[in-house]
A and B are shown apart, each in its own frame.
Chain A
């Protein structure tokens, strides 16, 4: 692997950037691997990287049906944060945020982490109570959180409508300064390149079409390029979790729902943090290119279509204009959607399964991008040791049998409402 540095940049500038080596190989699949990971999104690639780096397991293939990061990894709005109340989630997401903080150096790839702050708005007295409680829970878990009053919010985000007669009055906000955004593609590419350098085979454009079982053991996967034997198989296929687990004969506590996002034309810097509103169901940030990136709710009905319906878009636009009246004259540039693995309690699953050597990583809902490093790290640990790490042990599949679920909102088993 060529180390990326100011010197390699200068050297390649001299040759008009025509001689950069490929960032990872495109190998022909071997007949057998120690571990096969299905799904070449951020989670699958990070898992392969940490299997090699932390556990010395390098005879690994990542099998991706399309191109790397073409799923939710390349479709998300890149918010990174760890502002959870429940202990299992708080410790997991904080572990992940700490990995983010050292990730560019670890991968020798700039993932463009920008800790510009994530601000959750409070619009009512009840919001103030809920956000204060969340902030206190975070601080008790050693995670940074600050409550801003209305004047402080106004100073922090000058374009917000903080006037008395705003459609959604602003009464304050909970700020996590260490939260922010990162570059989505870079995360997939950085993990792919670093995993490849340690010997992992990354196989793109190769869908897994079946999972071969002998009793309680999985022996390998059927793919578009033939059968590939595996001592262990892990899946990290987001919205396709139900379909792929179904190939191994498992049913999951997961529903697949569609989430849309949209961006405006690029404008000069106007918003230097992430703003979210749980009450309005809306969030927004500005990309490094200047586009305002925004989104809202799921479309609220099961969907495998990577496109959504208009009511959700209308809601997002309405919210944007109500909170930021000056954005009313922006034109929207494009919109897209990804299919989400919504779990029954809204919390993720990194777990062993009833099969001996088959592992699942799913249930990321609309928040799995920020989890990418932590998810890969914990999934690699679980696969390598055949047991979960104490941090992901609570996030196991059997919590749905015991009833020990982690439902941040107290919403109950309505996956589209988490």
Chain B
């Protein structure tokens, strides 16, 4: 079971959250002129790392805000959490 530290509410059970996927993909800055390959890269292609992964979670049964989590996909260890646009705070003592 994951214990996810919401930057707004504190540590909460994984059950309270909905997953939002890779936080590093970026929507093309100018959608009107973006090429097929830029859309392809944004919508479909992922790094899919075996190790640290930056991802979005929605605190659906809590403050209902989106947060950003750095989690190791191999060990499931949460390395850092923070608000979507702010700095991430490292998890301590783990």
Contact = CB atoms under 8 A, between A and B. Distances in A.
B47 A401 contact: no
Contacts of B43: 344, 400, 413
A254 B46 CA distance: 7
A401 B75 contact: no
A310 B21 contact: no
Interface stretch (A189-197, A298-306, A369-377): A298-306
Interface in B13-52: 14-15, 18-19, 21-22, 36-37, 40, 43-50
Contacts, number: 72
Nearest to B76: A305
B74 interface: yes
Interface in A241-256: 242-243, 251-256
Interface in A385-416: 400-403, 413-414, 416
Contacts of B19: 300-301, 416
A344 B45 CA distance: 8
B70 to A, nearest CB: 12
Interface centre among B1, B2, B36, B76 (most CB of A within 10 A): B76
Contact of A304 (B18, B37, B45, B50): B50
Contacts of A311: 1, 14-15
B45 A252 contact: yes
Interface residues of B, number: 26
Given A309-B2, A311-B14, A253 B53 contact: no
Given A256-B73, A401-B37, A309 B48 contact: no
Size range of the interface on A?
20 to 34
A309 B76 contact: yes
Given A304-B50, A305-B74, A253 B45 contact: yes
A305 B75 contact: yes
Nearest to A412: B43
Contacts of B12: none
Contact of A251 (B18, B45, B50): B45
B14 A242 contact: no
A413 B22 CA distance: 12
A303 B50 CA distance: 8
Given A256-B73, A311-B1, A302 B47 contact: no
A173 to B, nearest CB: 29
Interface of B: 1-2, 14-15, 18-19, 21-22, 36-37, 40, 43-50, 53, 55, 71, 73-76
Interface of A: 240, 242-243, 251-256, 300-305, 309-311, 344, 400-403, 413-414, 416
24 contacts: A242-B48, A251-B47, A251-B48, A252-B46, A253-B44, A253-B46, A254-B46, A254-B48, A255-B21, A255-B46, A300-B18, A301-B2, A302-B73, A303-B73, A305-B73, A305-B75, A305-B76, A309-B1, A309-B2, A344-B44, A400-B44, A401-B37, A413-B43, A416-B19
Given A242-B47, A242-B50, 12 more contacts: A251-B45, A251-B48, A252-B45, A253-B44, A254-B46, A302-B73, A304-B50, A310-B1, A401-B36, A403-B36, A413-B43, A416-B19
